[in-house]
Amino acid sequence: MTIESASTASTASQVSSIGLQDFLKILTTQLSHQDPLKPMDNQEFIAQVAQFSALEQSRQLNEKIDRLLAVQSATQSVGLLGKTVDIDVAGAARSGKVSALKFSGGEPLLSVLTTAGVALEGISLSQVLGVR
């Protein structure tokens, strides 16, 4: 069994959780159980190492993009303070002024004072329809 066939058979979530230690365990197991009359091809071995390296780099890139998006979201939400926004609350569009900002679990949540004088708390950026 090669690492390539093992990774092809696994799901994306299982593949993303494979670490360097797991890779080394698989590699040593593979080498210890190979047929001495048919040793592992060097090109296949290099290809497997390259695939693992590419997978790890892809995982790290995804983590960095997630962090960048979180920072961008926080920066964008700070810029909304004092601005009038149109928001979607339970399928109904409302307008109001962003009066406060708080972070819950890394996600910015807005407090909006509507034109009717009602304070709406916990408004996410995905609920903002427009900014005026």
What CATH number is attached to the domain comprising 97?
Answer: 2.30.30
Q: Looking at the structure, tell me whether residues 67 and 96 fall in a common domain.
A: no
CB neighbours of residue 3 within 10 Å = 19
Query: Per-residue pLDDT tens for 14-32?
Result: 444 566 777 778 778 877 8
Same domain, 58 and 112: no
Range of the domain at 116: 81-131
Please tell me whether residues 8 and 50 are part of one structural domain: yes
Q: Are residues 67 and 116 located together in one domain of the fold? A: no
Per the CB < 8 A criterion, the answer to whether 95 and 88 are in contact is no
34 and 97 belong to one structural domain: no
Is the pTM higher than 0.95? no
Number of domains the chain is built from: 2
CA distance 132 to 124: 17
Residues 65 and 122 in one domain: no
| Residue 108 φ then ψ, to 5° | -75, 135
Residues 117-128: tens digit of each pLDDT: 888 898 888 888
